[in-house]
Structure 1
Amino acid sequence: MDWDPDAFGPPDDPAAPPPPFDGATTPVAASVPGLAATARDFTGRDPRDVLSEVYGYDAFRGDQGDIVAHVVGGGDAVVLMPTGGGKSVTYQVPALVRPGTGLVVSPLIALMHDQVDALVANGVRAAYLNSTQTPGERAAVEQAYLAGTLDLLYVAPERLNGAQTLGLLARGRLSVIAIDEAHCVSQWGHDFRPDYLALGDLADRFPGVPRMALTATATPATASEIVERLRLPRARRFVASFDRPNIQYRIAPKVEPRKQLVEFIRSVRQAQGPDDAAPAGIVYALSRKSVEQTAAYLSTQGIDALPYHAGLDSSVRAANQSRFLRDDGVVMVATIAFGMGIDKPDVRFVAHIDLPKSVEGYYQETGRAGRDGEPAVAWMAYGLGDVVQQRRMIDQSPGDRAYKMRLGQHLDAMLGLCETVSCRRQNLLDYFGEPSGTCGNCDTCLEPPETWDGQVAAQKLLSTIVRLQRERGQSFGAGHLIDILRGARTERITQQGHDALATYGIGADLTDQDWRSVIRQLLARGLLVARGDYGTLALTEASGGVLRGETAVPLRRDTLGRSGSGPRVRKAAAAESVDAGDRDLFEALRSWRAEQAREQGVPAYIVFGDATLRALAASRPASLADLDGITGIGAKKREAYGDRILAVVAAH
């Protein structure tokens, strides 16, 4: 599916000129949300002190410390780090420490709003420029930037293509330029944004300002393309592991996908336990129609589900997104227009009822589960129709032969992940160039699939196709071919005289679903091809080896219902690591957090994450000093919430 440009509101309008800077610093700063007079200046501070004071973390994780030190020292960086790995800290901290304002190029309005809200809650002077603001609001932000009272400024790549915005930035002082979701620069990628191509010019416009390119989704080839197009030849590369060990990957044979989806969601709820809040999740579908029908079906099954796609009115999208972020247990059914800018940490599952177009897209979408590090599940229903549909979409795409070949390569890699009989996580990480062992936490590790010799079955199918084409000049799709092989007495078979074929009825030993599995796997391996609008099946060059008995055809035996209805999902409740004696306090803190979030009109995780509430329930602080060192409580939040936290604790 192509990117929906209106998914999060209208495109930015870079044409509106900024007002002349009038030199008014305090009044302008006060008119921008978050720029309070008490905001702290972190310039020149030790990054570790800033990490503690702003974010409430004792130490950097993984490569974060090295990245921050490199950028603070003026170096360029390319950062490849998985979703939930802490990319934002690596550019936010240098922006706070270095003199000037950090410029963050962000592709979606929702992402800007989310990150700015979180920064402001931590006492950081952050703002954005985008099309959701009134001219007066934009003017206040622009003048605050010129006055030097902004720590971070978020803009869209489209806005940076305008001379007005570039002129504004040149009149102020930039500390860091961070290009988030940098894989959008790749013309072969799954989220290509043409406006990213112009961002390489920032090297000439702002010499001496360290630049960063950050993404959670990049193969080695895409990383090289990022370096070339963004003109970062001397940038140091930081590549973290792409592994998300808390996510369990499961792929089920598609039979009745909506019913399977309901069974899956209920299994996740059951794993959480009856006393826990219903899990939040995201369900991805290819079409807008499928999104709406699936959301409606889930609602009839007692699941709080909402639709999201670019065809909905913007007010409906905004309201549905707000409910998903703020309420417990909401399931968002969406096209890929939803998710890139969503920072909700407690999404317990991501489900696909249609096959993603690429491994990159699948990895990014599933990565929205379990950002808090707690157990989560990535589930997909995958079937023959998905393969035929994706092949047809590639054939009908408007690109040239090279473009279609690249799309085909993306699909082949995705099919390889679906059809593998070995560890899915190992297959996924190998795609990104990261060697690994078996994980023990995917369906193929937990329930090793059976394989069987499918050579004879494949020969029966291919022979039927050959006889129809050579003897009668006819081509058919999977359904009719299966009817012939199974000896069905349909009106179409008798009218066409296909019951006279030598292969009629020779496949009665396999069920309809078995044959669909055979065809799906042969398509995935290039031993069969679907053509035209009707998905008629034809042989490939490789088919001859199968017919001659020269090519082995080991096939995965699908066990219907095993992966779709009863996954052994690890318990993923927010309170799973809370001792029984602390459970009441933890729940009281969650209720208090929900009240605070409602009063402020922000998601609960903007106030505090579950990890912070668990730490509070375990430590039972009795004074403000006791809050120091608790993860997620920086100076601003201690000041804003400290007394109220102590009151909740004292009451229990």
Structure 2
Amino acid sequence: MSPSSDTAHRVDTAGSALGYTELHPAQRDSVAALAGGRDVLALLASGYGKSAIYQIAASILDGPTVVVTPLIALQRDQVESLRRRTGEMRAVAVHSEQTTSQNDDAWRSLETGDATMLYLTPESASRPDTRRRLREMSVACVAVDEAHCIAAWGHDFRPAYLRLGEFVDAIGRPPVVATTATAPPPVRDEIVERLHLVDPFVAVGSFDRPNIHLSVVRHHHAIDLTDAVVDDVVDRVDALRSGAVGLVYVATRAQTHDYADLVGQRGVDAIAYHAGLSRHDREDAHRAFRDGTVDVVVATSAFGMGIDKPDVRFVVHTSPPESLERYYQEFGRVGRDGDDAAAVLHFRPEDLGLSTFFATRNPQREALAGVYRAISSTTAPIPTDSLAALPSASGRAAESAVELLDRAGAVRWQDGGWTDCGMETADAVELACEAAHRGETAARSRVEMVRKYAETTRCRRRVLLEYLGEVPSGPCGRCDTCESGASTEPDDGDGRFRPGDVLHHREWGTGDVVSAESDRVTVHFPDQGYRTLSTAVLLDENIAE
């Protein structure tokens, strides 16, 4: 879709007023689609200006734009950035770390038209009073930033993300733009479904970041890995120019302090960050990172979503993340200025066990039964907030339960609330537990794809891009396997299976081919996740067609 010349001019003019002097066609087309009342799914690489889409749209639409972001720190950064960039458009945030007076001032700014953008967390968007206020304001657009969080599983699961489609419907169903840098095809489908997007305009840019060098360092023993990480970080810090920084991602909160101390003993100015720190300490770490007054931030995955510091030069992971989309998200914080940067994964196969553990969700049968009984005992649709207040389950357990019941087809969203599908409670609970098992199976398969990336002898960038739904033309020349000579021209087999093909498996149903080699095919099945299958077995035993 290409906008008319008048629309394109209007978008470009609005972008220039906000400091965006040159827009990518995907940005321009996305804003034009929103201005025309159409839903949008924008998939652009980290650092390629996803936030520009809804910021520009907010400046040309009539009425407030609501931006849902996962982190309060991210809201604070974007609000301040907009205030610095222009005095013509004000953005405000409403969240739990502000006083009641500050939140009231924000609402008044929206009501009077002094502010045109409101930032919320998913949890704030779930509040009935928030929905009531916005319903009265004729919201022009809803932006869901970091939309891949909708498909999170395990310890990162936030039930409020699954209620955003309900939120959009409750405030009058304005156009929605969902933005993310990390959405392989299965995640894209779930975003569309969960946000109730209608015939969305899909803008897909390349996920390739060729200025980022990719490498994996394998280790057999934990002590060897620790020593190697410290040496690696010290060497990279020595090469940093003034103001540039590096990131080190670790698996646990304790390790943030351990590694910060270890590199500190070698003369590196490092600061630890994790969600368990006080608000003051977290803000200090963000400020030091943004201002370049430290060499390195050592953090858990709680740090970094949405940051926009252009001169981060390296990201070192001390253990494998739980998925390749998570890894891409985290190393995508480097090299946004276009200069050379590096993403290094220090890898022990044994460390995949922690990621597998995090992928586990143990459904609470009592909570499932209590929630289903509450839904089935009334003829009127019951809102999620009422379920969260049930004595039989905590708020989070109730939200998790209704999400599993929904996945299982035991309940459905209808007319502003949940209704049952007419089955016995025991059957609904059993189906929900089966849905949980399928989710865990899929999550564990994503962990195995991390193993595939770490252990491959193919072009590492090609493996990553294929996973994200993009097929490069050949080896990148900017990863360790290419440089070592291990990677060769892609072996796509005899062409019988190609990335993007639909494959029908006799046992697992329909799946999408992710990658194809001469002897194996990796396929994503909705209920099984990622499976690597022998090409010979597929053909000889007629399992697939």
Normalising by structure 2, we get a TM-score of 0.70
- Aligned-pair CA distance for 1:188: 4.2
The residue identity in structure 2 corresponding to 1:111 is: L
Which residue is equivalent to 1:442? 479
Residues 1:325 and 2:290 aligned together: yes
Matched, 1:416 2:384: no
* Cα displacement string for residues 43-96 of structure 1 (whole angstroms, at most 9, x for unaligned residues): 998221121222151x21141111111111211101111111110111110110
Q: Structure 1: which 5+ runs fail to align?
A: 1-42, 452-541, 543-652
For residues 109 and 91 of structure 1, the distance between their equivalents in structure 2, rounded to whole angstroms, comes to 18
Partner of 1:105: 68
Decide which moves more: 155-164 or 205-214: 205-214
1:282 matched to 2:223? The reply is no
Query: In the TM superposition, what whole-angstrom CA distance separates every residue of 1:417-462 from its partner, at most 9, and x where no partner exists?
Result: 00110111000000011101211111111123499xxxxxxxxxxx
1:235-277 deviation per Cα after TM superposition (whole angstroms, max 9, x unaligned)? 11111111111111111012522332233234434555xxx31
RMSD of aligned residue pairs (Cα, Å): 2.5
Q: How does 1:282-361 map to 2 (within 5 A)?
A: 282-361=247-326
Preserved CA contact (<8 Å) 1:148 1:172: no
After superposition, the C-alpha distances for 1:106-152 in whole angstroms (9 at most, x for unaligned) are 11101100111110001231111111211111111101111111121
Contact 2:320 2:347 in 1 (8 A): yes
Partner of 2:351: 386
> How far apart, CA to CA, are the structure 2 residues paired with 1:52 and 1:80?
22
Greater fraction of residues in strand = 2
Query: Is 1:265–2:233 an aligned residue pair?
Result: yes
Matching residue's letter, 1:435: V
Cα distance in 2 for residues equivalent to 1:227 and 1:279: 38
* Partners of 1:110 and 1:342 within 8 A in 2: no
Task: List aligned pairs for 1:628-639, cutoff 5 A.
Answer: none
Q: State the Cα distance separating 1:189 from its structure 2 match.
A: 7.9
Counterpart selection for 2:464 from 423, 428, 438: 428
Secondary structure of the 1:350 match is strand
2:173 and 2:253 mapped to 1: Cα distance?
46
Change (3 A) 1:327 1:450: closer
Percent identical = 37
| Map of 1:88 onto structure 2 | 51
> 1:138-217 maps to which residues of 2 (within 5 A)?
138-188=103-153, 191-207=156-172, 209-217=174-182
Give distance in 1, aligned partners of 2:342 and 2:30.
Answer: 30
| Distance verdict in 2 for CA 1:295–1:194, change over 3 Å | same
Are the counterparts in 2 of residues 44 and 99 from structure 1 also a CA contact under 8 Å?
no
CA distance in 1, matches of 2:225, 2:296: 16
How far, CA to CA, are the matches of 1:397 and 1:115 in structure 2?
33
1:334 & 1:210 partners in 2: Cα distance?
36
Please say if residues 244 and 292 of structure 2, whose CA atoms lie closer than 8 Å, have aligned partners that are also in contact: no
Higher RCO (CA 8 Å, separation ≥ 6 residues): 1
> Which structure has the larger Rg over C-alpha atoms?
1
User: Which residues of structure 2 form unaligned runs of 5+?
Assistant: 1-6, 364-435, 489-532, 534-545
> Could you tell me how far apart the structure 1 residues matched to 2:102 and 2:167 are?
26
8 Å contact 1:366–1:378 — kept in the other structure? yes
Q: What is the rounded CA distance, in whole Å, between the counterparts of 1:251 and 1:438 in structure 2?
A: 16
In structure 2, relative to structure 1, the CA distance for the partners of 1:401 and 1:155 (3 Å cut) is closer
Mapped pair 1:219 → 2:184: yes
Task: Give yes or no for contact 2:234–2:266 (8 Å, CA) kept in 1.
Answer: no
- Cα gap change, 1:121 to 1:277, in 2 (>3 Å): same
Could you say what secondary structure the match of 2:217 adopts?
A: strand
Deviation at 1:393, TM superposition (A): 5.9
Residue matched to 1:619? none
**TM-score, reference length from structure 1:** 0.59
Q: Look up the match of 1:488.
A: none
SS class of match (2:335):
coil
